Amino acid sequence: MYDVFQTDRLIDLWLAEDIGYCDLTAQVMIEADEVGAFYMNARETLIVSGIDIAARVFKRYDPTLEVIVRVKDGQKIEAGTVMIDVRGNARSVLTAERTALNIVQRMSGIANETAKYVAAVAGSKARLIDTRKTTPGLRMLEKHAVTCGGGLNHRLGLDNGVMIKDNHIAVCGGITQAVQRARRQLPVLTKLEVECDSLTQVAEALEANVDVIMLDNMSVVDMTEAVKMVNGRTKLEASGGINLSTIGAISMTGVDYISTSKLNQAAVCVDIGLDEAE
């Protein structure tokens, strides 16, 4: 999912932000040639995401460090599991420690949250998908974390598909007109989705032959009716007001996809630490 070149640029920014001119504590307390052995360990049950990026942080800062990754992204591990062994210059390890921990804690937190939502729709046909409401600069990493937790990715960016929303519809004068405009220049393999907030709009979008209809902030009753109206002729996505208390009932309406920003916005960083090897 994520590109190594782009990730390295991010790592450089993260390290520069945290270190500044130097790690003053490490410089004044640890000898330049002092070595150490450390391990990154899970302090709670979690689903791993971003472990290779965390390892890359150490190597990016100091290529002489020996870094061994013990787990894989998408793997569920228990508290006490060793995730990474890192050995070498002690100053380097301790300077890069926080940056490495921050990213794997954040990404694993998203994977954990996604897994909760995936479990909540089990037994239905609905598939869980994410949104573009991501942390600026971290989109590809956060979307990768969603897949580690069992979810799917919606658009990666604005260039990945045509999404006709309420403001586009207002400018164009209606769904039919908006779809007609889009179809004139739409690349042949690109999907077209329309956001609808009423059953009347659903009927119009269906008549316009769109690829996906988003049911925006609709009630469960209206979603159920929309599924009957569409009758499998196009895909339906439920969105808006989705959380762990509402997603179960929504999944049973028969929609194909359920999207929620909660996968990123409600995720809590997991507890992971770096300890000296005994």
In this structure, the answer to whether residues 73 and 134 fall within a common structural domain is no
Query: What is the model's pLDDT at position 277?
Result: 85
- Count of structural domains within the chain: 2
- Evaluate if residue 2 carries a pLDDT over 80: no
- Domain around 25: 4-112+268-276
Find the catalytic residue in 59, 76, 133, 181.
133
| Digit-coded pLDDT (tens) for 202-239 | 999 999 999 999 999 999 999 999 999 999 999 999 99
Together in a domain, 90 and 173: no
CATH assignment at residue 149: 3.20.20.70
Q: Are residues 218 and 155 part of one domain?
A: yes
**Per the structure block, which two tokens stand in for 17?**
């932000």
**Same domain? 136 vs 257:** yes
Residue 76 appears among annotated catalytic residues = no
Specify whether 133 is catalytic. yes
Instruction: Give SS3 for 62.
Output: coil
Model pTM?
0.94
Query: Could you give the 3-state DSSP secondary structure of residue 148?
Result: helix
Is residue 98 annotated as a catalytic residue, yes or no? yes
Q: Which residue among 73, 142, 216, 237 is the active-site one?
A: 216
Q: What is the pLDDT of residues 45-98, one digit of tens each?
A: 999 999 999 999 999 999 999 999 999 999 999 999 999 999 999 999 999 999
Average pLDDT on 265-273 reads: 96
Residues 224 and 165 in one domain: yes
User: Phi and psi for 49 in degrees, rounded to 5?
Assistant: -155, 135
42 backbone dihedrals φ, ψ, rounded to 5°? -75, 135
Sequence length of the chain is 278
* Catalytic pick among 195, 204, 237, 256: 195
For residues 104 and 201, state if they share a domain: no
Tokens of 90: 């002690």
Q: Are residues 129 and 89 in the same domain?
A: no
What pLDDT shows up at residue 1?
57
Told to judge if 166 belongs to the known catalytic residues of this protein, a careful annotator would answer no
Query: Are residue 79 and residue 155 in the same domain, yes or no?
Result: no
- Does position 194 have pLDDT exceeding 60, yes or no? yes
pLDDT at residue 131 in the model: 96
Q: What is the pLDDT of residue 191?
A: 93
Q: Name the residue with tokens 């290529």.
A: 63
Together in a domain, 99 and 128:
no
Closest CA to 148 of 51, 268, 83: 51
Average pLDDT of the residues in 103-119: 98
Catalytic residue among 59, 76, 98, 155: 98
- Residues near 274 by Cβ (< 8 Å), separated by ≥ 6? 38, 39, 40, 41, 86, 93, 97, 100, 101
